[in-house]
Each structure stands twice: as C-alpha cells, then as structure tokens.
Amino acid sequence: VTSLAISTDTDFAGGWNKSDSDSAENVMSRTGYVIMYARCLVQWCSPLQTEIALITAEAEYIALSQALRNVLPIMTFLQEIFGVVNIHAPTATINCKVYEDNNACIAMASSNKFSPRTKLIALR
C-alpha cells in the first residue's frame, strides 16, 4: 500500500544577524517540509514562521502543525480519487507517515496534555 509521507525540519532563529538586531524577522524560525506520495514530491514549503518560537521544540511543533494542516486536504483528495477510480485495495484508507527528528516535539504531538515546560505553546 502506497502512503503519504511528511518530513519536517526547522532552522531555529537561524536568520539572526547582530548588525540588524532590531528586526523581528531575525529571530523567527524557518519551517521546512516536504509531502511525498509514492516517493514523488507533492508539495514542499519553506516559509518563515509567523511567530517567534522561544524553544527549538516549539519551532518544530509549529512546523509539524503547518505540514499536517496541508496534508489533510491531500489525504481527502486521494481518498475521493480512490473511490471514483475503483482501485482494488482492501481499504480506502490513506495513511501518512510523519518523519520528525525532535523528541520533545514528538512527545508534545503524541500527548493530549501540556506539561509545565510546554504550557507556553498554544494549541495550534
């Protein structure tokens, strides 16, 4: 069964420049993600985040949130196509494998609760 795959990464405050320290964009993290289907690129994006992340895990969590919000319509679209084309598969369920390298981000995304250390991160 072929499935979607998301790979995310973040450059935490990577644009900081001492000579231009008054600009808010210097401390914003850059989100990067790719969405693949059957090893083919479907979508990629690399924008600056719209808010300032205070910790690396928060920047990674924002990137993961943005990527997942973009993959949900793709999953729905593929499910509709499979229904119309009558693909012989045991189920018409579309799976999505997420590749994330930050353990704190994975723990936050897997849990329904915020800890005292992560309560600064608003639900996205």
DSSP three-state, residue 118: coil
pTM value? 0.76
Q: Is residue 16 part of a domain?
A: yes
Mean pLDDT of the chain: 80
Which pLDDT belongs to residue 42?
92
Q: Is residue 117 part of a domain?
A: no
Q: What are phi and psi of 55, to 5 degrees?
A: -135, 160
Q: Is residue 124 part of a domain?
A: no
Q: Long-range contacts made by residues 72-81, C-beta under 8 angstroms, separation at least 24?
A: 74/4, 74/35, 74/37, 74/42, 74/43, 75/4, 78/4, 78/37
Q: Is residue 103 part of a domain?
A: yes
Total domain count, the chain: 1
Q: Is residue 11 part of a domain?
A: yes
Q: Is residue 24 part of a domain?
A: yes
Range of the domain at 91: 4-110
Residue 32: which of 4, 59, 71, 5 has the closest Cα?
Answer: 59
Tell me the pLDDT tens digit for each residue of 56-107.
888 898 899 899 999 999 998 888 887 777 666 555 677 889 998 888 888 8
Q: Is residue 116 part of a domain?
A: no
